[in-house]
Amino acid sequence: MTLGISSPQISAWGCVLFVGAIFLLVAVAHQIDGDLEQIVGVPSPAPVRKPLLPSLAAELPEKPTEFKRQEQTPFNPDPRSQLETESSKVEPPVGTLEELHHALETMQTDYFKIWLGKWPDAIDWTSAVMGTHVSAALYSLTRSLSYIMPGTLDMETQDRELNLEGQRVENEINKYFSQAITYFFGEDHFAIRTQAYDDMLWVVLGWMENIRFIREHNKLHYPPSRHSAGGSNWYGKQFESPFAHRARVFYDLATKGWDWKLCGGGMIWDPHPPKPPYKNAITNELFITASIGMYLYFPGDSNCSPFMSVLDTDPILNPTANTEHRLTPGATAAQSHNACEPPYSPALPHDPIYLASAINGYNWLKNSNMTNVQGLYVDGFHIRGWKDKNHIGTGKCDERNNMVYTYNQGVLLSGLRGLWEGTGNLTYLEDGHKLVRDTIRATGWKTGNDLTAISFSAPLPQNQKRVLENRPVHPTGYNRVPANPASAHYQGNINTEVPHPANDEITSLPPTWAGLGADGIMMEFCDPAGTCSQNAQTFKGIFFHHLTIFCTPLPLSPLIPGKTHGAKQEHARLHRQSCKEYAPWVARNAEAALETRDGRGRFGMWWGAPRVQEFAEQGVLERRDLDAGILALDPKIPVGAIDYQNLGFMGTGSMQTSSANAKKSEGVNGGDANERGRGRTVETQGGGVAVVRAMWEFVNMFQEE
């Protein structure tokens, strides 16, 4: 068949070909232009920078986002000056906030892989803790600057410079929150279902912390618009529901670990044979803290997945579905979208069962004889004569493992504060402060009045001060006497020294092991030898995270009327004043941790290494090296203690990893003590994030009386 084309058609096709040739020439020109830049160094014209917001385009900065340094009053860790002066207002050092931001940035840049949605080198439970540290850091960053996002109020009523700074902070927060979202999908939630109960409860705490951040960020920076009928919620608010669902799933799974038959109650660590039942401190503390966290912060959950298919009962997706079991009588189809059929039911916010579980859990723990003569929680109990579930021996917790770890002194603290808020019982706060003070004392930091116990039944008057001297005193009598205590200060700088008093003279006695550290610096028993496992590398950061929550000022009125309690002014004042006493100790540990960073900003595990090295170089010992300082420190494992966290459980290896294959060094001999063993890891970086955040919060929360 012959194809005939008329003259008008030829003319039209010619025009099309001509236009196409023009476009092709333009494309080639652009390609040549780009090639010339690479071949002869002729730069192409700079692309037009698209503004984030058209109305503010001219004022947007060209430099990368950072938290601006400002002139601030130096932070003096001596409580007798700024922290203990009623009329003073302590300006939190912006340098500390920068250090927090940089620590978080390093952790996420060096260790987090977005395409995987996880920290590949972390194990499941330490990943959950890293997620907690990210959310907690965001909680601090979002409260570091008062700003309101554009569109929520009239632009004319906003400070433009503040708003621009707010956009920079908001962009950083959104970046890290987006990474938290990717971790939600990257978390191996299926594998964790088969692990120990403590592993499950770390997941609960992690996502509840994220919900806490979401609510705070939305409240501070996305208030309801004055010119719209509805609110203007932050986009992250939509993730509150799935995060709550995951927390609920793992909380419900973990509750199966509560056992009344052995020891009269308490949580079992790991139900999987052949391991014998072990009722340890951390699993029970996690259960208490997770339970009260669910009572206070859990928003409810009507999603029955993964227990059943939503399609089965969804009247929208399945018009023939049975609608008898909607959430509430008369509920609309949309409200019943995720309705549950018996035996499953929606989980409600502030359910009293969560509160009751926390109360029962703490009652058992407090009466379990799980603290040593220093007031520290030991690791846990075995049952004498136990063989299997049919031969339970004595059935009592009568074989105690006296090993102590830092995290066993920390997780309970946020739980005790939550129990006070849920019940109004001041005993929980008294117990919490006692545990904090016992822990501080066990790091070798003591005071003239020996950190006396706090009684809320007879609070101090407002003008009476408790003074925590900024000098560690060791059981052997070693003391560092300042000539001018007021001269110590913190500049928020990588080269800043640990905030020792001026003219600090080294005496003839070295730092001495006090139970959980020396010279006022918190340490694990495995720190000096460089033999800490992946588990132990996570512990100190956990302690400082929960200490920070415990010391949050008490509300004077219930935050949830009818469900929580407010504090009397004298009780809130005593709690606040008592926590202010801990600020110098927190600052000391933060500065010690900052000194362990390498050239890439990565934190080391042993925060005390620089201080021990400093002492060794004084020439008091036979040799001027760190190995000699370690020998002088002489940490001793407690009598009757087994170091499961570093040596493995009952010969089966530690919970998920072991340091048995970690590289060991013959000694330090002038090298970096924090490169021994597992070296610097995402877990040690998380510890740095937590302790620097603690320093920021302790100063920031007390800047106004």
What gap in Å lies between CA 214 and CA 208, rounded to an integer?
10
Show the tokens assigned to 223. Answer: 């208030």
Residue of higher predicted confidence among 644 and 371 = 371
- Statement: residue 288 has pLDDT above 90: yes
Contact assessment for residue 605 and residue 688, using Cβ atoms and an 8 Å cutoff: no
pLDDT in tens, 443-487: 999 653 456 777 887 655 444 444 343 333 333 222 222 222 222
3-state secondary structure at position 213: helix
In the beta sheet, which residues pair with residue 113? 118
* Other CB atoms within 10 A of residue 437 CB: 22
When mean pLDDT is compared across 26-35, 306-315, 324-333, the lowest value belongs to 324-333
6 versus 391: the higher-pLDDT residue is 391
pLDDT at position 341 is 65
Q: What is the mean pLDDT of residues 138-155?
A: 74
Q: What is the DSSP letter of 274?
A: T
Position 648 confidence tier, pLDDT thresholds 50, 70, 90:
low
Q: Which of 209, 211, 187 is nearest to 199 (CA)?
A: 187
Question: Hey, how many other C-beta atoms are within 10 angstroms of the C-beta on 463?
Answer: 6
Q: Please, which residues have CB within 8 angstroms of residue 657's CB and are 6 or more apart in sequence?
A: 123, 533, 534, 535
Average pLDDT over residues 98-105: 96
| Confidence (pLDDT) at 315 | 43
Identity of the residue numbered 311: L
- What are the angstrom distances between the C-alpha of 631 and each of 475, 519, 635? 18, 15, 8
Closest-CA residue to 133 (of 72, 180, 78): 180
| Mean pLDDT for the stretch of residues 114-140 | 98
pLDDT-derived band at 18 (thresholds 50, 70, 90) equals low
- pLDDT value, residue 650: 52
Provide the 10 A C-beta neighbour count for residue 582.
Answer: 23
pLDDT at 308 over 90: no
Instruction: Give the start-end residues of each E strand in 468-578.
Output: 517-518, 521-522
pLDDT, mean of residues 651-660:
36
Q: What pLDDT is stored for residue 55 in this prediction?
A: 31
Could you tell me the two tokens for 602? 């990565």
Whole-number Å distance between alpha carbons of 187 and 261: 34
Contacting residues for 85 by C-beta, under 8 A, at least 6 apart: none
Q: What's residue 474's pLDDT?
A: 33
57-71, 290-304, 399-413, 571-585: which range is least confident on average? 57-71
Query: CA triplet 515, 519, 523: central angle to 5 degrees?
Result: 50
pLDDT for 343 = 63
- 186-200, 265-279, 564-578, range with the lowest pLDDT: 265-279
Candidate from 110-114, 338-342, 463-467, 509-513 with smallest mean pLDDT: 463-467
> For tokens 């202010």, what's the residue?
580
What does pLDDT average to over the chain? 76
Give, to the nearest 10 degrees, the angle between helix 160-186 and helix 94-111.
30
Whole-angstrom Cα distance, residue 181 to residue 174?
Answer: 10
Q: Give the separation between CA 516 and CA 533, rounded to whole angstroms.
A: 17
Rounded Cα–Cα distance for residues 214 and 234 (Å): 8
| Residue 373 or 641, more confident | 373
| Size of the chain in residues | 705
What average pLDDT score do residues 513-524 get?
94
- Return the structure tokens found at 678: 């597992």
Question: What is the C-alpha separation between 540 and 690, in angstroms, rounded?
Answer: 8
Q: Which residue has the higher pLDDT, 637 or 599?
A: 599
pLDDT range class, residue 11, cuts 50, 70, 90: low
Average pLDDT over residues 342-371: 93
Q: Are 510 and 478 in contact (CB under 8 A)?
A: yes
Residue type, 75: F
Contacts of residue 500, Cβ cutoff 8 Å, sequence gap at least 6 = 480, 482, 488
* Residue ranges of E strands in 314-444: 378-383, 397-404
pLDDT above 70 coverage of the chain, percent: 64
With beta carbons less than 8 A apart as the criterion, state whether 544 and 633 touch. no
Res. 506: pLDDT tops 50: no
Strands 517-518 and 279-280 turn out to be unpaired
The pLDDT value given to residue 148: 73
Summarize pLDDT for 414-447 with one digit per residue, the tens: 999 999 999 999 999 999 999 999 999 999 996 5
Residue 387: Cβ-neighbour burial (10 angstroms; 0-12, 13-18, 19+): exposed
Domains of the chain (ranges plus CATH)? 85-227+235-305+346-382+391-700 (1.50.10.20)
What's the pLDDT at 659? 34
pLDDT attached to residue 562: 95
Query: Alpha carbon 149 to chain centroid distance?
Result: 26
β-sheet bridge partners, residue 242: none
For 524-561, letters b (16+ CB in 10 Å) and e give bbbbbbbbbbbbbbbbbbbbbbbbbbbbeebeeeeeee
pLDDT band at 147; cut points 50, 70, 90: confident
Inter-CA distances, 315 with 99, 153, 397, Å:
52, 40, 52
Q: Backbone phi, then psi, for 371, in 5-degree steps?
A: -115, 150
The CA-to-CA distance between both ends of the chain, in Å, stands at: 96
446-460: b or e for each residue (b if 16 or more CB lie within 10 Å)?
A: bbeeebeebebeebe
- How far does CA 453 lie from the centroid of its chain? 28
* Per-residue model confidence (pLDDT) at position 123: 98
80's CB contacts (< 8 A; 6+ apart) are: 467, 469, 470, 485
> How many CB atoms lie under 10 A from the CB of residue 635?
19
DSSP for residue 238: G
State mean pLDDT over 358-363.
98
Instruction: Select the highest-mean-pLDDT range: 226-230, 385-389, 645-649, 654-658.
Output: 385-389
Look at 212 and 233; give whichever has higher pLDDT.
212
Which residues does residue 118 pair with via DSSP β-bridges, in sequence order? 113
CB count within 10 Å of CB 19 equals 10
Say what the pTM is. Answer: 0.77
pLDDT tens-digit map of 232-246: 899 999 999 999 999
CA distance 404 to 435: 13
pLDDT score at 295:
98
Q: Does 331 score more than 50 pLDDT? A: no
Mean pLDDT throughout 216-235? 76
